[in-house]
Amino acid sequence: MSGIRPTGFLHLGNYFGAVRNYVRMQDEFDCFFMVADLHSLTTHPDTRELKINVQRVLAENIASGLDPEKVALYCQSHIRETSELYLYLNMLAYQGELEKTVTFKDKVRQQPDNVNAGLLTYPVLQTADIILHRAELVPVGKDQEQHLEMARTFANRFNHRYGEVFPEPKAFNFGDELIKVPSLDGAGKMSKSENQLATLYLSDDDEMIRKKVMKAKTDSGPSEPNSKKPDYIENIFLLMKLVSKPETIRHYEMAFNDCTVRYGDLKKQLAEDMVAFITPIRQRAETIRQDQKYLKEVMEKGAEKARRSAKETMDKVREAMRLNYY
């Protein structure tokens, strides 16, 4: 189970941290993937663009290879059971632990005039989304590690207090570790809202991709053989590992190690490999976005599957909590 907020265009971080894993999981597991529209209200209270953004996230997921016939692909607000479970879990979540969450502290800094209760209890809603399907594996990027730890805490606390209903959810990646896709300016991660010129979006056209990659921070190159790469150069190699062929990466690793690397050439190569990677996804997403009828059917079908699973869990939850009075 996993989700993405409809707060903007999907980028390479969303793709490699999350969606790529969704696509690989769909043949092996019983999967639930959602557009987290309720979560987006904690930072984006204006809902005028929400429908377009929800449709865009759905289209970009499908364009990336997610098959709505194989998984439940749905919209968070269509599953009312989530709100009920969120309410119960809120009684098991303490102010102190919520206030310590890194993402909460970041948001308080970013939007001091809108420190709403939803922001504070964001990890509780996320836990409700996950354990509503009694999910065990949660494909997410590295930035979600702490939230997943909290989800385990809340699930265990529920089990402890009311009886065993939920398995422990774990952050999941097909590789060895969770991924953080760095931004092109060498500072921080790619993100939907911050630093848009240093983030590659799945909707960027070829010229925009080239422009952004060519602007990535470099320097005059190493002066000693086999030097340690500065962080911003390490980041460029990391991006190359995501989209370029192994022989291309080997070539530039060797050039770096013997001090013959030309960053202009490296970035041109990376830009072309990015274009080749992103263009087909962008084109498919554009076509899917035009088909409103199809997107509506996807959402309806996804919600139906998710509601079935949610109902089963909530029957167990109410029974465990002794809320079934008749």
Give the residue with the Cβ less far from ligand AMP, 179 or 261: 179
Catalytic residue among 70, 180, 192, 217: 192
Pick from 34, 58, 155, 190 the residue near ligand AMP by CB under 6 A: 190
Q: Active-site residue 192, yes or no?
A: yes
- Residue 117 contacts by C-beta under 8 Å, 6 or more apart in sequence? none
Contact 171, 140 (CB under 8 A): yes
Least separation, in Å, of the C-beta of 8 and ligand AMP?
Answer: 8
Amino acid at 167: P
Least separation, in Å, of the C-beta of 29 and ligand AMP?
Answer: 16
Q: Active-site residue 107, yes or no?
A: yes
Size of the site for ligand AMP (CB under 6 A): 18
- Residue 277 contacts by C-beta under 8 Å, 6 or more apart in sequence? 243
Residue with tokens 């139906």: 304
8-state DSSP, 165:
-
Residue with tokens 């590690």: 145
Contact 42, 115 (CB under 8 A): no
Q: Does 17 bind ligand AMP (CB under 6 A)?
A: yes
Query: For residues 168-187, which are near ligand AMP according to CB under 6 A?
Result: 179-181
Task: Determine the interface stretch with ligand AMP among 14-22, 44-52, 104-112, 157-165 (rule: CB under 6 A).
Answer: 14-22
Catalytic residue among 51, 70, 100, 107: 107
The span from the CA of 322 to the CA of 320, in Å, is: 5
Backbone angles phi, psi at 189, to 5 degrees: -115, 160
Q: Does 101 bind ligand AMP (CB under 6 A)?
A: no
End-to-end Cα separation, the chain, in angstroms = 32
Strand-pair partners of 72: 32
Give the residue with the Cβ less far from ligand AMP, 261 or 285: 285
Q: Does 144 bind ligand AMP (CB under 6 A)?
A: yes
Q: Does 189 bind ligand AMP (CB under 6 A)?
A: yes
* Structure tokens, 5: 């907020």
Q: Active-site residue 229, yes or no?
A: no
Least separation, in Å, of the C-beta of 269 and ligand AMP?
Answer: 22
Give SS3 for 197: helix
Give the residue with the Cβ less far from ligand AMP, 69 or 177: 177
Q: Does 128 bind ligand AMP (CB under 6 A)?
A: no
Give the residue with the Cβ less far from ligand AMP, 107 or 192: 192
Catalytic residue among 70, 142, 180, 189: 189
Q: Does 50 bind ligand AMP (CB under 6 A)?
A: no
Q: Does 56 bind ligand AMP (CB under 6 A)?
A: no
The span from the CA of 70 to the CA of 89, in Å, is: 30
Give SS3 for 33: strand
CA dihedral 60, 66, 72, 77 (to 10 degrees): -10
Least separation, in Å, of the C-beta of 50 and ligand AMP?
Answer: 14
Query: For residues 192-231, which are near ligand AMP according to CB under 6 A?
Result: 192
Give the residue with the Cβ less far from ligand AMP, 3 or 302: 3
Max Cα-Cα span within the chain: 78
What Rg do the C-alpha atoms of the chain give, in angstroms? 21
Task: Determine the interface stretch with ligand AMP among 11-19, 151-159, 205-213, 305-313 (rule: CB under 6 A).
Answer: 11-19
DSSP string computed for 262-287: -HHHHHHHHHHHHHHHHHHHHHHHHH
Sheet of 2-4, strand order: 2-4, 32-35, 72-75
Least separation, in Å, of the C-beta of 317 and ligand AMP?
Answer: 25
Positions annotated as catalytic residues are 107, 189, 192
Which parts of this chain interact with ligand AMP (CB under 6 A)?
Answer: 2, 4-5, 13-14, 17-18, 140-141, 143-144, 179-181, 189-192
